[in-house]
Amino acid sequence: MHKTTVKTPQNTEAGTFTQRFRAKRLVANQLMANRLVITALTSLFLSFTVSAEVLPQQQLIPGGLALFDLGTAATRPKVDIKGQPVMTVATGNGTGQHWTAIVGIDLKSAPGKRTLTIDGQARTFSVTKHNYAEQHLTVQNKHVNPSQPALDRIGAESRAMKAVFTSFSSTASTQWQPMIWPITGPISSPFGLQRFFNGQRRNPHSGLDIAAATGTAIVAPAHGTVVQTGDYYFNGNTVLLDHGQGLISMFCHLSQIDVQPGDQLQAGDHIGLVGATGRATGPHLHWTISLNNARVNPMLFLDPQLLPEANHEETSQP
C-alpha cells in the first residue's frame, strides 16, 4: 500500500499523535476515538502522497505528459504553452518550494517540437510519434451521421465542454496528489485507440473505458469542484470535475448523476452511477482527463501502486 521508504516530519507527527491517542483511548468514548484514528490515518496518508516519487508519469507522445523541473523558487513560476497556462506543483520534503511544470500533450496533436514559456523564457521539448491500436465499432447510425438539429446540439455541448477544458482555476494546495480509480473494472477500451464507427474513421478515443455493471458507484479520483453536468448527445449523462490548474476529469455515460455544479469533492467521494447513456455499446465509465486543454492518458495520473498489472498490459499495445 504505502511507500515505507519516505520519512517526513508529518509521518513522525502522525505516529506521535497515534501514540497520544492510544493513551487517551481509555477515557475517550468510542465515537470520538474513531474520529481521531481517521484523522491520524488521513494525515499519515497525505504525508506519503506528497512525496516526489508519485508525480504523474512523463510520456513524450501525443496524449502524454511532459514534466519540467523548474528548480527552487519562493513563488510559483508562471508557465504557458500556446497561450494556455500550465500546471505547476511543488515537490520535495514538504517545504513547497521545489517546482515541477506538468504539460499535457494533446492526443490529436502532431509529433514534433513544442515550445513552452517559463517566466518569460522559451523552453522546447520533442513529442515522438506513437501508433495507437485501431478499434472498429458498430453503433446506431444516428450517432455516425447526426441530423442537423443533432449537429446544432452537439456544437453547443462541445462549446460548453471546451469552456471547462480551457479554464484555469487556482488551487490552495501546491502539492500533487496522485489519483485513485473512479471505479474498478477491466479496461474495455484503452486511451488513444484510433476508432472507426461503422467503417468510418472518427476522433481517436480521448479517454479510458472501464467496464462495470449499470449502477456501479463512481467516485472522484482526486479532490475537485464539480463545474458542469448534463445529458450530452455523445457522452450521455456527464460530470466535469475541475481538479485545479487546468486539470479536468470528465465522466460519461452515467445512468445517474448524484452531484451538481459547485459541489466540492474529495478523492473517494460519490459522483454517480455507471450506465450506457449517449453513444455507448454497453455499460461502462468513459473517463477523460484534460490538462491545459489537451486530452491525455488518465493512466499517467494514477498512483503507480494502484495500477493493476492487467491494466498496464492493455495500454502498452502498439
DSSP assigned state of 251: E
φ, ψ of residue 256 to 5 degrees: the values are -155, 135
Q: Is 206 in the site for Zn ion (CB under 5 A)?
A: no
What is the signed CA dihedral for 29, 34, 40, 44, rounded to 10 degrees? Answer: 160
Among 17-25, 48-56, 227-235, 281-289, which window interacts with Zn ion (CB under 5 A)?
281-289
Q: Is 209 in the site for Zn ion (CB under 5 A)?
A: yes
Measured from the CB of residue 187, what is the shortest distance to Zn ion in angstroms?
A: 10
Q: What's the grid cell of residue 289?
A: 482527463
Measured from the CB of residue 286, what is the shortest distance to Zn ion in angstroms?
A: 3
Measured from the CB of residue 103, what is the shortest distance to Zn ion in angstroms?
A: 24
Alpha carbon distance 231, 21 (integer Å) = 48
Q: Is 295 in the site for Zn ion (CB under 5 A)?
A: no
Question: Which residue's CB is nearer to Zn ion, number 10 or number 188?
Answer: 188
Residue nearest to Zn ion (CB): 286
Question: Which residue's CB is nearer to Zn ion, number 106 or number 209?
Answer: 209
Q: Is 286 in the site for Zn ion (CB under 5 A)?
A: yes
Q: Taking the CB of residue 103, how many other CB atoms lie within 10 A of it?
A: 25
Measured from the CB of residue 189, what is the shortest distance to Zn ion in angstroms?
A: 5
Determine the size of the site formed for Zn ion (CB under 5 A): 3
How far is residue 273 CA from its own chain's centroid? 18
Least Cα distance to 99 among 67, 65, 72, 66 occurs for 72
Measured from the CB of residue 185, what is the shortest distance to Zn ion in angstroms?
A: 13
Q: Is 106 in the site for Zn ion (CB under 5 A)?
A: no
Alpha carbon distance 72, 65 (integer Å) = 21
Among 42-50, 74-82, 199-207, 233-241, which window interacts with Zn ion (CB under 5 A)?
199-207
DSSP assigned state of 243: E
Question: CA triplet 296, 301, 304: central angle to 5 degrees?
Answer: 135
Query: Which residues bind to Zn ion, rule: CB under 5 A?
Result: 207, 209, 286
